[in-house]
């Protein structure tokens, strides 16, 4: 081991940046802390504008060759990256659980296999990406997807590697080169991804990883004139700063932002199913942008729904995310815990009632919480908490349910529980949301468009929509019978 290597649960992780196919250390570091117990994991290279410029330069230098690489070869390398991920699922799982506090069993069984799937899906989609030629007054139109150039990808801490590779995989498949900037609260698996990609044969400079604070390195990345695409997942305030930074170069943006999604429960719904869907919103300690944090329940079943929810929530086990029996782990950082508790205490002071929880358990864990007696215009109903905090309101008519559901500045997702197919069709048609689930939750397919409306985001990714973003679309129009016969 070297001074730049950490051992995390027996796994070696390099703490330096990955730029141009080699490790690069910064003169300064930042401290990475485990949310499980607040212990220090280690010191991580803290990037500045210097490392940002170097990473973009490396991506720019590598772009022509990677863009010219055949689709088949790019797909082969992405499948090799997926192979490398699958070989290291256990390493990636334990490192990410240590780093961000999400359940180890979820990482092993779902999250890390999904990371590999991200690479395989976009590798395969690349090979079938096409638009049928069409004619205009005898002229042939041919649509093509041209690689756009160096892409800056800024990713969040709640599902670090899965959400990073949801951007990295299509960007690389499209023929772009990448500068990945992971969240400073969970940087470790991005470093491991750099190792895996290099071992898979990804050429130097095609993937670069830089670590650090957004305030110190972010603007240097997003304002760089050589950057051709920026994709960001995170908060609305940060998205505004990124948009301002990118505006000078008119750099195209994809923004996946916050949510305040509703769960609508109608009286005809299967209440056991509805309660299961509701309790599922505590997943990842409530740190899920898509979570249906606002329960809207028809008045006639609200009391029974609440009773069953309280009983079901009481069966959840909160504790060390490395234990197989744990259902809810810690929140990512003491600062986030303070933010969550401040939301709850302000709501209680304003008259809300805590049916479940309503308090922190210690410096790392917040008790799963359900608040009732909340006003539609209250902060707790309107603003994203990003913790295990849910609210419950009632409605008496379908029209009222839709009005309450749409009455926030967000529009990321919505979930609907009903036994009436016609009602489901009517209501979903009126909901402002990028994704709507009916009698289910969190069923995700990479073929589908994903993104939010209103302040929940700009653009869509997934399937061909990802390539539409990461590429410059070109239409070539050819005249008929315009060729000379050279014999």
How far apart are alpha carbons 423 and 398 in whole angstroms?
9
Beta strands 40-45; 29-33: pairing state: antiparallel
Tokens of 86: 């699958």
- Does the domain at 5-257+452-475 match CATH 3.40.50.720? Answer given as no
Q: What share of the chain is helix, strand, coil (3-state, %, to 5)?
A: 40, 20, 35
CA atoms in the 13 A half-sphere facing the CB of 136: 7
- pLDDT reported for residue 3: 84
H helices present in 88-211, as ranges: 89-100, 104-106, 112-128, 160-173, 188-199
Judge contact between 400 and 379, C-beta under 8 A: no
Indicate the CATH number for domain 262-438. 3.40.309.10
| pLDDT value of position 483 | 77
Indicate if the pLDDT at residue 365 is higher than 60: yes
In this model, does residue 1 exceed pLDDT 70?
no
Q: Provide the annotated active-site residues.
A: 256, 289
For residue 481, name the pLDDT band (cuts at 50, 70, 90): confident
Could you report the per-residue pLDDT of 158-182, keeping only the tens digit for each?
999 999 999 999 999 999 999 999 9
Domain pair 5-257+452-475 / 262-438, same fold: no
In the predicted model, what is the mean pLDDT of residues 190-214?
Answer: 97
71-87 and 89-100 helices cross at what angle (nearest 10)? 70
Q: What is the mean pLDDT of the chain?
A: 96
Give helix 71-87 / helix 188-199 axis angle, nearest 10°. 120
Least confident segment among 122-131, 201-210, 383-392, 476-485: 476-485
Task: Give mean pLDDT, residues 361-379.
Answer: 95
Instruction: Return the SS3 of 144.
Output: strand
Distance of CA 200 to the CA centre of its chain: 24
For residue range 281-316, what is the model confidence (pLDDT) as tens digits?
999 999 999 999 999 999 999 999 999 999 999 999
Helix (H) / strand (E) element for 186: namely: none
H-type alpha helices, 141-235: 160-173, 188-199, 219-222
Report CA torsion sign: 96, 99, 100, 105: positive
> What does DSSP assign to residue 148?
-
With CA atoms as reference, report the closest residue to 421 among 398, 433, 438: 438
Q: Residue 485's pLDDT is what?
A: 66
**Which residue carries 């205009």 as its tokens?**
136
Helix, coil or strand: residue 458: strand
E strand segments, 174-314: 178-181, 207-209, 229-233, 253-256, 262-265, 294-298
Nearest CA among 13, 380, 429 for reference residue 182 = 13
**Count of CB atoms situated within 10 Å of the CB of 126:** 21
Q: Is it the case that residue 486 has pLDDT exceeding 60?
A: no
Up-side HSE of residue 198: CA atoms within 13 Å toward CB? 16
Q: What is the mean pLDDT of residues 423-427?
A: 97
C-alpha–C-alpha distance, residues 130 and 239, integer Å: 32
Could you tell me the pLDDT band of residue 362, with boundaries at 50, 70 and 90? confident
DSSP-assigned letters across all residues of 342-398: HHHHHHHHTT-EEEE--SBSSSS-B--EEEES--TTSHHHHS---SSEEEEEEESSH
pLDDT at 487 exceeding the cut of 70: no
Mean pLDDT of 24-41: 96
Whole-number pLDDT of residue 363? 83
Query: What is the spatial order of strands in the sheet that 435-438 belongs to?
Result: 353-356, 369-372, 389-395, 294-298, 262-265, 413-417, 435-438
- Residue 412 is predicted with a pLDDT of 97
Mean local confidence (pLDDT), 227-256: 96
Nearest to 290 by CA among 265, 259, 329, 262: 259
The answer to whether the Cα torsion of 463, 250, 142, 140 is positive or negative is positive
Query: 11, 80, 13: which is closest to 43 by C-alpha?
Result: 13
Is 88 in contact with 13 (CB distance < 8 Å)?
no
Annotated domain spans of the chain: 5-257+452-475, 262-438
Percent of the chain at pLDDT exceeding 90 = 97
**3 state SS of 441:** coil
Distance (Å, rounded) from C-alpha 300 to C-alpha 420?
Answer: 16
Helices (H), 387-462: 398-406, 421-430
Give Cα 318 to chain centroid, integer Å.
24
**Residue 161 near residue 119, CB atoms below 8 Å:** no
């Amino acid at each position: 081991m070297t001074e730049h290597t950490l051992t995390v649960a027996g796994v070696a992780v390099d703490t330096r940046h990955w730029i141009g196919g080699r490790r690069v250390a910064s003169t300064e570091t930042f401290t990475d802390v485990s949310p499980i117990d607040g212990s220090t994991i280690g010191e991580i290279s803290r990037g500045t504008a210097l490392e940002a410029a170097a990473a973009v330069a490396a991506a720019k230098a590598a772009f022509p060759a990677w863009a010219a690489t055949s689709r088949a070869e790019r797909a082969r390398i992405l499948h090799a990256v997926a192979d490398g991920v699958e070989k290291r699922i256990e390493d990636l799982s334990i490192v990410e659980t240590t780093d961000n506090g999400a359940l180890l069993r979820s990482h092993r069984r779902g999250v890390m296999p999904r990371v590999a799937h991200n690479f395989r899906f976009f590798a395969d989609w690349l090979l079938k990406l096409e638009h049928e030629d069409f004619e205009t007054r005898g002229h042939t139109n041919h649509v093509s997807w041209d690689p756009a150039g160096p892409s800056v990808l800024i990713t969040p801490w709640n599902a670090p590697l899965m959400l990073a590779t949801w951007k990295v995989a299509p960007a690389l498949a499209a023929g772009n080169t990448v500068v990945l900037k992971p969240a400073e609260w969970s940087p470790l698996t991005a470093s491991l991804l750099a190792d895996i990609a290099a071992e898979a044969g990804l050429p130097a400079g095609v993937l670069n990883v830089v670590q650090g604070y957004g305030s110190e390195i972010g603007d240097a990345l997003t304002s760089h004139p050589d950057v051709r695409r920026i994709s960001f997942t995170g908060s609305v305030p940060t998205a505004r700063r990124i948009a301002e930074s990118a505006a000078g170069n008119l750099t195209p943006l994809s923004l996946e932002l916050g949510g305040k999604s509703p769960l609508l429960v109608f009286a005809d719904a299967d209440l056991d199913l509805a309660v299961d869907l509701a309790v599922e919103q505590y997943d990842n300690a409530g740190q899920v942008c898509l979570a249906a944090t606002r329960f809207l329940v028809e008045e006639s079943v609200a009391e029974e729904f609440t009773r069953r929810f309280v009983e079901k929530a009481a069966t959840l086990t909160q504790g060390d995310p490395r234990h197989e029996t744990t259902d809810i782990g810690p929140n990512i950082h003491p600062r986030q815990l303070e933010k969550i508790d401040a939301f709850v205490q302000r709501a209680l002071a304003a008259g809300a009632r805590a049916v479940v929880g309503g308090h922190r358990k210690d410096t790392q864990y917040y008790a799963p919480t359900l608040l009732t007696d909340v006003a539609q215009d209250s902060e707790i109903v309107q603003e994203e908490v990003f913790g295990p905090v849910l609210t419950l309101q009632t409605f008496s008519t379908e029209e009222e349910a839709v009005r309450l559901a749409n009455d926030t500045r967000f529009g990321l997702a919505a979930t609907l529980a009903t036994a009436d197919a016609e009602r489901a069709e009517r209501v979903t048609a009126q909901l402002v949301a990028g994704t709507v689930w009916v009698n289910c939750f969190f069923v995700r397919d990479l073929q589908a468009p994903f993104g939010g409306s209103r302040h929940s985001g700009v653009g869509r990714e997934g399937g061909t929509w990802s390539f539409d973003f990461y590429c410059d679309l070109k239409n070539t129009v050819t005249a008929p019978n315009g060729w000379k016969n050279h014999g």
